[in-house]
Each structure stands twice: as structure tokens, then as C-alpha cells.
Amino acid sequence: MNLQTETSSEASLLSPPSSGRGSGGRLSNTLKDARRAAFEANKLAKRLRREVGQAIADFNMIEAGDKVMVCLSGGKDSFALLDVLLFLREHAPIAFDIVAVNLDQKQPGFPAEVLPDYLRSIDVPFHIENEDTYSIVKRVIPEGKTTCSLCSRLRRGVLYRVAGELGATKIALGHHRDDILQTLFLNMFFAGKLKSMPPKLVSDDGRNIVIRPLAYCRESDLEAWAAVREFPIIPCNLCGSQPNLQRQQVKQMLNDWDKRFPGRIETMFRSLGNVVPSHLLDARLFDFAGLAATGTPDPEGDIAFDPPAMPLEAAQPVGFAAKDD
């Protein structure tokens, strides 16, 4: 299914001010800045919608008649996910429903009214599930230890149950491109696996399809979109209060690479969709034991004694999104 759309409404996401003239017939700096900000916001909106639509199409994430449960945490990523999916739903060639779900984990000081007020203001069906997983995590995990694993398992179990109760056919999570790359390196560094976050999977209970429509989106774009849309962001007192997490260290490493070697992040991300099992070491994925010389040239075969060739275009930044006008 292709949810990529181009509509006239994109051009009016943030209508720029009328071109009033200042003294001397020149636009004031304030007016120029406002017009520039509106232009950049429209470019950003088009890019995010295009990337989400492309991911949905590439992995058949959403089908006609689906009821998509958007998991809304109160962070920038899940707000952006809901926002973009609502737009695509109105312009998609198929019909599907959206319900927003938030798990209130009873963290101290959590502003319980923020999400309901926001969701009512944009007229979106929603459900707030109250489950005190916070106390369980704090009781079980020693002070100073990472809470992510247990918190994630508890949250996942609750959301799977709620999806069944609401009749949802897809569960949409707000993980983005940077999350996917960070997970790849976390698994290599600490688990000895070439494994990342899939864009679509069957849940571990076998009953739910989980999708990640933001898979092609950059975190920096989501941060910028949150500022443009002025989402009522709610900080997490569990994950957000642990600055020394391994994921934060990997994130810092990738950000450093991105600054020093422009285009490297895009090229690494592209490699996740261009896997060659015969050139790795996993005999479960490729029959090394059964290899035999056939005497027939193979255009896809390896040139064993030649140095690895680097395509000329590899020196250029590679991205999923086309350049915006």
C-alpha cells in the first residue's frame, strides 16, 4: 500500500504572513524570518510524511480496514507518529482507523491530564490504561541499575493486552532511524549479534503485529517537528533520568560520526536493507558446508583475491528521502 501523497494542504501547513512592505520597499527582518520558518516547516512536514508513507509501503505496515493502536508515551517521537498518521489517514487511498493509547505507569508527578486534554483537542479516539508498573520497577531493580529491560517487558505486556481489548489489528510504536541504528550497535557491542529493530514484526505472544512507521525518519527531524507543532512533551522519570545508559553512549558515538563523516549514518542505515549472508559467518543463513565449485561463472560471485571495490557514489551522502525543493 502506498500512503505517499502530495496535496495542496501541505503548502499551507503554516501559512506565511502576507508580504507587507517596510520602509524603503523592503521586507522587514521579522517578516523574512517568519516566511523562512514557514517554508522550512512545510519542507519538514513533506519530508516526514513522505518517509513514513514510504516505510508503510515498503513493509506493508497498514492495510485496508486496519485499526492502528498508536502507543503515545508523551515523548516527541510518539507525538510525531500520531500526527503524521492522522494526516496520512485523511489522504490515503484506503480506509483505516486510529486509536491513541497511553499507559499511565503512575510515575510520581506525571501530569495525567496533559495527554487526554491534547487528544480531545485534536478529536482523536483514545484510551488511557492505568497500571502501576513504576512501583514494580523501582522495587525490583536496585538503585543505579538500568530499568529499561523490566520496564519495557511490563509495558509491552500491558499494551498487547489492551490491543486485544480494543480490537486493534496493528500496534504502532515511535522508534525512528536513529533508534534502529543504535540497537544494531548495542547488539554487536554487548550481545554479539547482528540484530536491530525490525520495521514490522509479530509480537512475542503471537497475537499482534507491531509496526514502526518512523523507521526512515531522523531523530533531528522529529525534534524539529515537535518544536513546530508545539507538542506538550512529558519527560520520562525512568529512562530519562539515567544518563549513563549504554544506549546513550552509542547515541553519542553515532552523533560524533555524523559530525565528522557526513553521510556515514545514511550509508550504514542503507546497509540494513542490503544484507549479503554469503559474506558473513552464520551457517544458519548460508550453506557454507555445501558449497562446491560448479565451473560456471557467477556474476554475483566473489572475486576472492581482489581488494574490496568501493563504488564512487559511496563517497556521497546516501538517504532515503529525496531532496526537497
Domains of the chain: 35-271 (3.40.50.620)
Q: DSSP of 186-225, one letter per residue?
A: HHHHHT-------SEEE-TTSS-EEE-TTTT--HHHHHHH
* pLDDT average, residue stretch 49-74: 97
* pLDDT average, residue stretch 191-197: 96
Select the highest-mean-pLDDT range: 18-32, 45-59, 138-152, 288-302: 45-59
* pLDDT average, residue stretch 199-218: 95
- Predicted confidence (pLDDT) at residue 312 exceeds the cutoff of 90: no
Q: C-alpha grid cell for residue 143?
A: 538503585
- Predicted confidence (pLDDT) at residue 135 exceeds the cutoff of 50: yes
When pLDDT is cut at 50, 70 and 90, the band that residue 319 belongs to is very low
| SS3 category, 211 | strand
Q: C-alpha grid cell for residue 187?
A: 547488539
- Predicted confidence (pLDDT) at residue 7 exceeds the cutoff of 50: no
Q: What is the pLDDT, as a whole number, of residue 244?
A: 54
In this structure, are residues 67 and 167 in contact, taking their beta carbons and an 8 Å threshold? yes
CA–CA dist 215, 176 (Å, integer): 5
Tens of pLDDT, residue by residue over 235-286, are 865 555 555 578 889 999 999 999 999 999 999 999 999 999 999 999 999 9
Q: Look up cell 517537528; give the residue.
A: 225
